[in-house]
Amino acid sequence: MTDAPSPAYKGPERVFSGMQPTNGLHLGNYLGALQKFVALQGKFQECIYCVVDLHAITAGPDPKELAAKSREVAAAYLAAGVDPKRSIVFVQSAVREHSELAWVFNCIARMGWLERMTQFKDKAGKHAERMSVGLFDYPVLQAADILLYKATHVPVGEDQKQHLELSRDIAQKFNNDYDAPGFFPLPEPLIQGPGARIMSLRDGSKKMSKSDPSDLTRINLTDDADAILQKVKKATTDPNPLPESKAGLAGRAEVENLVGIYAAVSELSVEDVLNEFGGKGFGAFKPALAEVLAVKLAPIAAEMRRLNADPAALDAILQDGAGRARAIAAPIMDEVRERVGFWRA
């Protein structure tokens, strides 16, 4: 089903992905990431899902809240349907090899490669000099996350494609520089599928984002049916009815987004949705969309509340995940140390 991760790489296929610990997870996180994490459990033997708290501190310290946010994101993984017995669920900082491999990769990656990263340029704007070195280095740590497990497939959003290319460049250069052909795989992004890009409810040219000042732009995973209905009703559309076919969505970004959300949430194709709603107005479509959203999200929100109410149980799951992650990572890191030539008694 998938491209070869590297012609020389002979190891097993493995999925790795991560999300930053933030509160306020929304529908874009669910459809763009969590739903895929769940689906991949049936397609790959081994899936590793990490809460990337080392990445979170690149944007600034948050010592009082960070651990709670990590638990909250882990709870969202589980509530969405990630099974902690089948998959490995853990918090990045609990496996110290992430930082260790990132250092080795810092000495592989070139300044020029990182200077091309558009996410850093977007985040830093005109103030690159005032950003942490960690923010600049963020994609190198991401490469370490993936390659520490020799992961071959990485479900991510469209915006992470460039970081995945960097991971491949780092893997390739490590394999070359240390005369280790096929040591690291060249990891493939998994981007396709519905829900790859969920846009703001108010502006079809912007991604749905937790940092948008207006809460009306997003559906939070914890919104109740009433909040969902209000937000969907206020979502930007136009006066025309829904089109009968996909071609009719061209130039109507907001409409395309809502139809895409309906399709992704109901696990239908866009064509199916337009067969049902084409020619009808938003007065009919919006309540139907709010209904499928509410039905989908209510059990997830309830399960998140249940998990968040019992942090000790959640910690036990994360501890077990960290142990299993480390069991894969440690021998790979040992081999890196050996290839790099670090001292060993």
Answer whether 242's CB lies under 8 Å from 270's CB: no
Binding mask 155-174 for ligand TRP (x = CB under 6 A): -x---x--x-----------
Any contact of residue 199 with ligand TRP (CB under 6 A)? Answer: no
CB of 287 to ligand TRP, least distance (A): 32
Any contact of residue 16 with ligand TRP (CB under 6 A)? Answer: yes
- Indicate the residue type of 307: L
Q: Give how far Cα 301 sits from Cα of 3, 7, 135, Å.
A: 36, 43, 31
Q: Which two three-digit tokens encode residue 165?
A: 């290319």
Q: Which stretch binds ligand TRP (CB under 6 A): 138-146, 233-241, 246-254, 325-333?
A: 138-146
Q: Which residue is nearest to ligand TRP (CB)?
A: 18
CA 90, CA 71: separation in Å to the nearest integer? Answer: 10
Any contact of residue 18 with ligand TRP (CB under 6 A)? Answer: yes
CA 99, 101, 106, 109 torsion: positive or negative? Answer: negative
Residue 15, H or E segment: strand 15-19
- Indicate the residue type of 182: G
For strands 15-19 and 88-91, give the pairing.
Answer: unpaired
20 vs 209, beta carbon nearer ligand TRP: 20
Q: Which two three-digit tokens encode residue 339?
A: 């290839």
Answer whether 96's CB lies under 8 Å from 145's CB: no
CA 145, CA 151: separation in Å to the nearest integer? Answer: 9
Any contact of residue 145 with ligand TRP (CB under 6 A)? Answer: yes
CB of 209 to ligand TRP, least distance (A): 12
CB of 337 to ligand TRP, least distance (A): 22
Answer whether 155's CB lies under 8 Å from 190's CB: yes
Of residues 146, 273, 297, 314, which one binds ligand TRP by CB under 6 A?
Answer: 146
CB of 309 to ligand TRP, least distance (A): 27
Count Cα atoms within 13 angstroms, Cβ side, for 290.
19
CA 59, CA 45: separation in Å to the nearest integer? Answer: 34
Of residues 38, 51, 140, 154, which one binds ligand TRP by CB under 6 A?
Answer: 154
Give, as ranges, the residues between 40 and 69 that touch ligand TRP (CB under 6 A).
Answer: 52, 55
CA 149, CA 321: separation in Å to the nearest integer? Answer: 13
CA 282, CA 232: separation in Å to the nearest integer? Answer: 10
Partners of residue 51 on adjacent β-strands: 19, 91
CB of 41 to ligand TRP, least distance (A): 16
55 vs 218, beta carbon nearer ligand TRP: 55
20 vs 172, beta carbon nearer ligand TRP: 20
218 vs 286, beta carbon nearer ligand TRP: 218
CB of 16 to ligand TRP, least distance (A): 6
158 vs 310, beta carbon nearer ligand TRP: 158
154 vs 332, beta carbon nearer ligand TRP: 154
Residues involved in catalysis: 123, 207, 210
Any contact of residue 142 with ligand TRP (CB under 6 A)? Answer: yes
Residues at the contact surface with ligand TRP, assessed by CB under 6 A: 16-20, 52, 55, 142, 145-146, 154, 156, 160, 163
